[in-house]
Structure 1
Amino acid sequence: MSEPGFSQGDVANTTYPCGGCGARLEFAPGTTALQCPYCGHRQEIAVGDRTIRELLFSELSGLDRKPVGSIGKYVFVCQRCAARTETNETASLCQFCGSPLVIDPNASGQLVPEGVLPFAFDRGAASEHLKKWASSRWFAPSALKKVTTAESTKSTYIPHWTYDSQTVSDYNGARGEYYYVTETYQQDGETKTRQVRHTRWYPTRGRVARDFDDVLVPATAQLPVPVLDKLQPWPLPDAVPYQQQYLAGHFALRYDLEPESGFEEAKKRMAPVIENDCRTDIGGDVQRVDTVATRHNNVTFKLMLLPVWVATYIYAGKSWQVRVNGRTGEIHGERPWSKAKIAAAVLLALVLIVTIGYLMSRNGA
């Protein structure tokens, strides 16, 4: 017998019929409601009894979940046209009729998200952000304007882990204090003096403590981590407890990074902050940190879904992507360079240099 959440069987698909025309409702960005894309009927998302919880990392092994590597593609059966769609996403659209497909999180085999940061602006506003971004890329080909078309953008919820940790760190290092020595030297036959700075080092050790809150780690490898990091900051206080309705009509990636691996990445993100605390504690004019041993206490975590508009376009046979933070409008994108525009700019610069040189020579004459 096949299990829900695996490619051998179907998964529970949740849809929300329109009370006006019977079509399928979709979440309307910037609101707290579902809206029909055909008749405009709106239905407020009911406030449930769920809250955004911080889960104890120490209890992770006891949570009901399947290893990422054992989960195949989900098979959605559209409740409108009965078409079957295989996907790695937890929310999608039917490839035949466009109806929203949202997985029952309890059937996914994965941990259920604790919170979701809903999209704050719709496709039209996303296109305006992209248009401004494209117009500011001076040396990009004219084809870059294609990213402003509505058809090229997808509203996608990206899974992120967040971690809280109360850290205590013992360090060994050295404090450097400047002192100055007067030196004499000869210049143009004259004897002169100058102050030369030196550093006197003193070994030191100590302990620092810091509480980290909501250290974010992207939980998917489908988008480059450096790109997702550049979309920060995320207004996490605006997040709401997870409800499937917020995914209706949008895409949502499932996580492919286990929370244990995510915590190892979170530690790496905490390390520079802890080292800076050590340097502050050492004091002096300059510091050296040789070793740091950190203990993580009362670690908690949760899974969050964060909104990103993803625009894809083709240029010179290559696929390029631009990503927009679905709350703040922050943009990070890939773009090709126009050799013709660069050559024209270089030629114009040379003409200006020659012209200025000519005018200066005439004025000098």
Structure 2
Amino acid sequence: MTAPHGGAPDQGAPRSGAPASTQRVFPCTNCGATLEFAPGTESLRCPYCGSAQHIEIAADRVVREHAWDEFVRLPRKPVATLAAYVFTCPGCGAVTESDAISDRCQFCGAPVVASVDGGEMVVPEAVLPFSVDRPRVREALQGWVKSRWFAPNALKKVTTAESVRSTYLPHWTYDANTSSHYTGERGEYYYETETYTVRDSDGQERTETRQVRKTRWWPASGHVSRDFDDVLVRGTSKVPSDHLDALEPWPLPESKPYDPDYLAGHQTLRYDVEPEEGMGVARGRMASVIEQDCRRDIGGDEQRVHSVNTSYSRVMFKLMLLPVWVCVYLYAGRSFQVLINGRTAEVAGQRPYSKVKIALAVIAALLVVTAVVLFFVLRR
């Protein structure tokens, strides 16, 4: 469970930040406009004059993981009770409030990024920067639309989204060393010969035998251990979990130490799933893996697991930001949301279905089943 980028896990408490009026600014030294992070690069780029500024990360900056036992003893307020961030647009001077760590000014579109260096909120330790740009998003959306089964034919004409927004979504990662004692049963197959009577087509009876498989159960118990690293749990409830889960796997080893430069020009949601809730989800996922370990340890042909008693040690966690393109397209007067992995271009989302195509498929399946049944009936 070593921290990425060569850093040792931090045994202290995580840094925390509360909504504040301070913010980061990214002025272009060439024309004075506001720089934005360019996906697929390590640079901030001016959208007007095109000049670039390389993002410099100090050599001693690493992604750190924090001790869970230390964290739970800290005084802390729920995120839902904290105030919004206050932004002053560097472009037009407008003052706005938002729950997002970074966003765009709603009046002129200039990037705004909050400073999260102190307070009562957990601060991100890592960010996985965008590498998929807008042209590739368009290609991924088109390919996804064309590959949908039972979709209306007109859906293939959807080539662009009505809205496309690059958004960093908060996620928790959890590490733990686990030691589990289990009790259960090991099932082993054996076969018995069974005699039965059949009647021929001419009415004559005859006796036949067959081998019947049965299971003999034996008590089993034992011990298994496993080290979990970066069990990923979403930190926001604002995005459908099934679509977000479908974007996995994420190349987490490619993450960078948190730097606000990567957020410039992109929206970043503040977490609303508390770390304690995320820990509960992570333990549930660990439990599923541990049960499979128990079954492998029991062996045999079948397994029954009656109880698993797990102890956790060296529990660590961190908050990180993952890149997602949130797209909305219109079809038949309805809006459909699609998520695109900002690192791998994996796509998941909502889509319409053609009732006519589904009905035809059902009718075709029924015709095939009917034909097979008639074939065997007539053959007999």
**TM-score category of the 2 structures, normalised to the smaller one:** 0.7 to 0.9
Mapped contact 2:145–2:156 kept (Cα < 8 A): yes
Whole-angstrom distance in 2 between the partners of 1:108 and 1:87: 17
Whole-angstrom distance in 2 between the partners of 1:23 and 1:53: 34
Of the structure 1 ranges 67-76 and 265-274, higher mean CA displacement relative to structure 2 is found in 67-76
TM-score by length of 1: 0.88
Letter in 2 for 1:102: V
For residue 44 of structure 1, report the CA deviation from its aligned partner.
Answer: 0.2
Whole-angstrom distance in 2 between the partners of 1:108 and 1:78: 23
Q: Percent identity?
A: 56
Flag the 1:347–1:278 CA change in 2: closer, same or farther, 3 A.
Answer: closer
Letter in 1 for 2:189: Y
Mapped contact 1:320–1:335 kept (Cα < 8 A): yes
Of the structure 1 ranges 12-21 and 55-64, higher mean CA displacement relative to structure 2 is found in 55-64
Mapped contact 1:146–1:313 kept (Cα < 8 A): no
Flag the 1:298–1:38 CA change in 2: closer, same or farther, 3 A.
Answer: same
**Corresponding position: 1:281 with 2:297:** yes
Map of 2:207 onto structure 1: 191
Map of 1:240 onto structure 2: 256
For residue 202 of structure 1, report the CA deviation from its aligned partner.
Answer: 0.8
**Corresponding position: 1:268 with 2:284:** yes
Map of 2:135 onto structure 1: 124
> Where do residues 37-186 of structure 1 align in structure 2 (5 Å cutoff)?
37-48=47-58, 49-63=60-74, 65-106=76-117, 109-141=120-152, 144=155, 148-149=159-160, 152-186=163-197
Whole-angstrom distance in 1 between the partners of 2:76 and 2:362: 61
Map of 1:205 onto structure 2: 221
Structure 2: state its 5+ residue gaps.
Answer: 1-16, 200-204, 369-380
1:310 paired residue among 293, 315, 326? 326
Flag the 1:38–1:282 CA change in 2: closer, same or farther, 3 A.
Answer: same
Map of 2:267 onto structure 1: 251
Whole-angstrom distance in 1 between the partners of 2:30 and 2:363: 61
For residue 190 of structure 1, report the CA deviation from its aligned partner.
Answer: 1.8
For residue 235 of structure 1, report the CA deviation from its aligned partner.
Answer: 0.3
Structure 1: state its 5+ residue gaps.
Answer: 354-365
For residue 52 of structure 1, report the CA deviation from its aligned partner.
Answer: 0.3
Q: For 1:309-359, what per-residue CA distance to the aligned partner results, in whole angstroms no more than 9, with x for missing partners?
A: 11013445543210011111111110122446657x569969x99xxxxxx
Q: For 1:47-72, what per-residue CA distance to the aligned partner results, in whole angstroms no more than 9, with x for missing partners?
A: 22321011111111355754212113
For residue 74 of structure 1, report the CA deviation from its aligned partner.
Answer: 2.0
Of the structure 1 ranges 113-122 and 45-54, higher mean CA displacement relative to structure 2 is found in 45-54
Map of 2:42 onto structure 1: 32
**Corresponding position: 1:221 with 2:232:** no
Q: What is the root-mean-square deviation of aligned Cα atoms in Å?
A: 2.5
Flag the 1:146–1:223 CA change in 2: closer, same or farther, 3 A.
Answer: farther
Flag the 1:230–1:138 CA change in 2: closer, same or farther, 3 A.
Answer: closer
For residue 147 of structure 1, report the CA deviation from its aligned partner.
Answer: 6.3
Letter in 1 for 2:88: V
Q: For 1:176-231, what per-residue CA distance to the aligned partner results, in whole angstroms no more than 9, with x for missing partners?
A: 11111112111232221111111111111111100011000001000122221111
Map of 2:344 onto structure 1: 328
For residue 140 of structure 1, report the CA deviation from its aligned partner.
Answer: 3.1
Letter in 2 for 1:136: S
Flag the 1:108–1:78 CA change in 2: closer, same or farther, 3 A.
Answer: farther
Whole-angstrom distance in 2 between the partners of 1:276 and 1:348: 41
Letter in 1 for 2:26: Y
Map of 2:315 onto structure 1: 299
Map of 1:290 onto structure 2: 306
TM-score by length of 2: 0.85
> What count of residue pairs does the alignment treat as equivalent?
346
Specify the SS of the correspondent of 2:289: helix
Mapped contact 1:159–1:304 kept (Cα < 8 A): yes
Whole-angstrom distance in 2 between the partners of 1:175 and 1:142: 53
Specify the SS of the correspondent of 1:89: coil
For residue 121 of structure 1, report the CA deviation from its aligned partner.
Answer: 1.5
Map of 1:360 onto structure 2: none
For residue 92 of structure 1, report the CA deviation from its aligned partner.
Answer: 0.4
